[in-house]
Amino acid sequence: MARLAIADPPYYRRGERWYGNGNGDWSGNGTADVHPEAGIWDSPGAHIDLVQRLTVEYDGWAIALSPDSLALYLAACPPDVHVMVWHRRNGMPGGNRVRRCWEPVILRQPADRRGRGVVSMTTSDVLDAPAGRPGFAGAKPASWTRWVLDALGYAPGADTLDDLFPGSGAVSAAADGMLALVSGSSDRGSG
C-alpha cells in the first residue's frame, strides 16, 4: 500500500490571471475560475513548498506544471524524479511565436515501484492526447489521469490517492473509474 498524490496547482505566474480576479485569457475577454488564494501560486516559494510537502508526506506523487516553471521545480525536487511530457495536440496559441503544445509532469514513484522487474507493465513518459475543454481552466482529460496513475503504479483499492487541487473533479473521477474496473473484474472472476 502506498500513499499517492496528484497536484495540479495554478501554474507559476498564472494564478491570479487564471484563478483569481484576472481576465482569464490573454486577450482579456475570458473569465477566470475563482479561487480565493490563487495569487500565492504566482510566488516561486509556493511551488517549492509544494514539492517539499509532497516529498515528506507521500510515497509517490505527480505535479502538473507549465514548461516555463520546469527549472524552478527541478531545483526543488529530489534527484529520483522523472519528467514526463503531455503532448497536447490541440494546444492553444499564445502570445509567443512558438506555440506550446506540451506540458511537463514531474513524477516521483514510490520507492518499492522503481527499477527493473518491479512492475508488470511499463508506461511511456509521453502522452499524446488533446487537452479537454470542459469549461474549467486547467482541467485534464481522463486519459491524463490514467497515464499518471499508471506511471505511479497505482493499485486501486490498495493505495490511497489524494487529489490536492480537486478543481473540476477529473482526477477523482478517473481514479474511481479505475477502481470500478478492478472491482468489476474481480467480481466476474469469483463467480
3-state DSSP assignment of residue 19: helix
Residue 6's pLDDT band (boundaries 50, 70, 90)? very high
Residue 165's pLDDT band (boundaries 50, 70, 90)? confident
Higher local confidence (pLDDT), 60 or 119: 60
pTM for this predicted structure: 0.78
The most confident of 21-25, 81-85, 162-166, by mean pLDDT: 81-85
What CATH number corresponds to the domain at position 92? 3.40.50.150
Q: How many domains does the chain have?
A: 1
DSSP assignment string, 56-83: HH-SEEEEE--GGGHHHHHHHS-TT-EE
Residue 74's pLDDT band (boundaries 50, 70, 90)? very high
31-45, 53-67, 137-151: least confident range: 31-45
Q: How far apart are CA 45 and CA 128, in angstroms?
A: 31
Which domain, by its residues, includes 56? Answer: 3-189
Asked whether the predicted pLDDT for residue 120 surpasses 70, the reply is no
139-168 mean pLDDT: 88
Asked whether the predicted pLDDT for residue 140 surpasses 50, the reply is yes
What's residue 79's pLDDT?
96
DSSP assignment string, 129-190: -PPP-SSSTTPPPHHHHHHHHHHHT--TTTSEEEESS-TTSHHHHHHHHHHHHHHHHHHHHT
Shortest CA distance to 60 belongs to which of 91, 82, 90, 88?
A: 82
103-122 mean pLDDT: 81
What's residue 183's pLDDT?
64
Residues 6+ apart with CB under 8 A from 49: none
The per-residue pLDDT of the chain, averaged, comes to 78
Q: Which three cell numbers stand for residue 139?
A: 482541467
Q: How far apart are CA 62 and CA 106, in angstroms?
A: 5
